Structure 1
Amino acid sequence: MILVACASAQAPKHASHAGPPAKELEAKVRKAWEDFKTKNKDAFAAILADGFTEAEEDGNGFRDAKAEVAEIDQFDLDKYTLTDFKVRPIGSDGALVTYMAEYSGKVAGQPVSEKDAVGEVWVRRGKDWKVLHVQETKAK
């Protein structure tokens, strides 16, 4: 955290950046979920930043972008609901996006139903926003 604060303090200020656009980031999260559901791997992969990692509620540790995209073939997402979006700035080119996700589908033919608290770190790359890290935690 100290390194992030120091790097942020030394980063040049961008007059055109007014902080993370909450509606744009929420739309990108929703599109990523829809791309996962419809198995649009190219569109899903395009939103992942270089160095992407994810830690899911299964306790299997971190996954990289390749593993996350491959999961699309293993998980048949039938339905999902995303609520309670909050977007908080992290410096001038980053944002923490948190929300609740309820979803159901099948993994290897077995039914799955989850409710998760999700935290995502988004970073601006050029004029676009990409997701760098996702953390899913089971919720009641």
Structure 2
Amino acid sequence: MAKTRPHSDTELLNALLECEARVWQALQTGDSAADAALLSADFLGVYPDGFAGREDHVAQISAGASIDRYEITDAKVRAMGQDHGLLSYRALYSRCGKEVEEVMYVSSIWQRSDAGWVNTFSQDTPALGPERETN
């Protein structure tokens, strides 16, 4: 059964934010099965250290959670046809066992199928400026 198609940018933004949060939650809980299910088989990640596929993305949590906490802000969405959307946002997060919060800007392309949304592409850009110590 096909999912209901969002009819507005607000509905698309909310749908993609929910999907993106599930990726972050998988990183936070170390749920590699949930992470893999959210990424397309041909997923491409573009990161400061190079390119990554779905297996690479999932491998970062093979031993457990990789982040303690995260916050998504300043989200923007662009429809890219009927069944694709581009979500861009600012992420504030901390890695497990680290006191320093990191900031990056993320752009993710999501594709809708009968089974739901899957992430086909993501690019992370570290923010310029100092990292913040948490209390």
TM interval, short-chain normalised? 0.7 to 0.9
Q: Take 1:77 and 1:127, find their aligned partners in 2: how far apart are those partners?
A: 28
Q: Aligned to 1:72, what secondary structure does the other structure show?
A: coil
Equivalent positions of 1:1-140 (< 5 A) are: 17=5, 18=7, 21-57=12-48, 60-73=49-62, 76-106=66-96, 113-140=101-128
Gaps spanning 5+ residues in structure 1: where?
1-15
2:133 is matched with which residue?
A: none
Work out which of the two has the higher radius of gyration on C-alpha atoms and give 1 or 2: 1
1:49-93 residue CA offsets vs partner (Å, 9 max, x unmatched): 121010123xx2210000100011366311111111111100111
The two structures, once aligned, show a CA RMSD in angstroms of 2.1
**Matched residues, percent identical?**
31
1:4 is matched with which residue?
A: none
The runs of at least 4 aligned residues of structure 1 exceeding 4 Å deviation read 109-112
User: Do 2:60 and 2:66's aligned partners in 1 also have CA atoms closer than 8 Å?
Assistant: no
Structure with greater proportional helix content: 1
1:29-61 residue CA offsets vs partner (Å, 9 max, x unmatched): 11110111100111111010121010123xx22
User: Do 2:32 and 2:62's aligned partners in 1 also have CA atoms closer than 8 Å?
Assistant: no
Question: How far has the Cα of 1:21 moved from its partner?
Answer: 2.2
